[in-house]
Structure 1
Amino acid sequence: MRSDLITGLIGALFSGFYLYETTTVKVFGGSATAGVNAQTVPKLWGGCLLALSVILIVRGLLKMRKETGKTSLRDMVQSIRNRREVAYTFILLILYAALMKPVGFIITSIVYVYLQIWVLTPITKRNGKVRKIAAGLAVFFSISLYFLFTRYLMVMLPPGILK
């Protein structure tokens, strides 16, 4: 099935990024010598996600071969275009996570929410009114969440360039 192939490819890309990022987790003293440390569980999760993604890719290729008798690059590209929302969502999530610390929670959240609403809005319904609604929702929820987490839940979020 093409959806298995698309999900597997996107999952593999995401798990590769996730596994790369696990190497930046700080390992503290004593437990580092025992073989189990702060990187162990994230690496295990990333490895499991990668394994499941590879299984989905293989299953998708086998189903495509069974249905059409062949698997071509053109068919894969066309199926990815048909499910562009999934690919764009993963790209936006990766960019959101990567830019959170240097840019800050509020700005990255505003941009992410706006773009995510835009991606999920059907192409035929995109207009100026939807842009204004998306911008308003993005600003309102990003600022509200920042104050909720920092003031009431005492969770520090990166201020970024708004220090």
Structure 2
Amino acid sequence: MKDLVTGIVAGAFSAFYLVQTSSVKIFGGATAGVTAQTIPRLWGGALLLLSIILILRSLLAMRRAKGREEQKMGLVAALKERREVVCTFVLLILYAVLMKPVGFIIMSMLYVYLQVWVLTPPEKRTKRMHTVAGGLAVFFSVGLYFVFTKYLMVMLPPGILKCGGHIMDLSLLLQGT
């Protein structure tokens, strides 16, 4: 039952992801049918295929176990047991949906922090873990923004950090001026 829930959640996410790949802009100069949509579609298709395999494998295992006396787990219990998987997909979807209005930096900080919290066992969630997760979230979000915008020349959504028509220049902030 655990794999069935995981497969269904992953399948729904991959279907959503594949639909969203059609909004990726295609620029001229594509060779041999390879465009900006090619890799996202391959990833989405691979995830969908793996999800279908996981669902089929789970259904076959349930059929084999049907004859044996096994405790049936309800959907809510299965979701609670796979809490990390479900929460990760919810966080990814929220990250993608809120990226443009809120902005890359803030959403990345929230995502990294919350993902660390989700993946940390409840008994190990200490004040130190929260501090480390917060530090990692800030470091990686600001660092990635800086690398993508300054070196790779990839514009990322500034969201609410867009100040007076200009995107807040993080290089000035990092230099302390």
> What's 1:14 paired with?
13
* Number of equivalent positions: 158
Greater share of helix: 1
Alignment of 1:98-137 (within 5 A): 98-137=97-136
Taking structure 1 as the reference length, the TM-score comes to 0.77
Range that drifts further, 9-18 or 74-83: 74-83
C-alpha distance in 2, partners of 1:135/1:142? 11
Amino acid at match of 2:54: L
Deviation string, structure 1 residues 130-157 (Cα, Å, up to 9, x no partner): 2222112211221111112211222221
TM-aligned CA distance change 1:83 to 1:26, over 3 Å: same
TM-superposed CA distance for 1:23, in Å, is: 4.0
TM-aligned CA distance change 1:162 to 1:76, over 3 Å: same
C-alpha distance in 2, partners of 1:152/1:27? 22
Structure 2 residues without counterparts, runs of 5 or longer? 163-177
Report whether the alignment pairs 1:157 with 2:166. Answer: no
Report whether the alignment pairs 1:64 with 2:58. Answer: no
TM-aligned CA distance change 1:75 to 1:4, over 3 Å: same
Taking structure 2 as the reference length, the TM-score comes to 0.72
C-alpha distance in 1, partners of 2:22/2:72? 33
Structure 1 residues without counterparts, runs of 5 or longer? none
TM-aligned CA distance change 1:147 to 1:80, over 3 Å: same
Identity across matched positions, percent: 61
C-alpha distance in 2, partners of 1:113/1:124? 20
TM-superposed CA distance for 1:68, in Å, is: 4.2
Alignment of 1:19-58 (within 5 A): 19-26=18-25, 46-47=44-45, 49-58=47-56
Alignment of 1:134-153 (within 5 A): 134-153=133-152
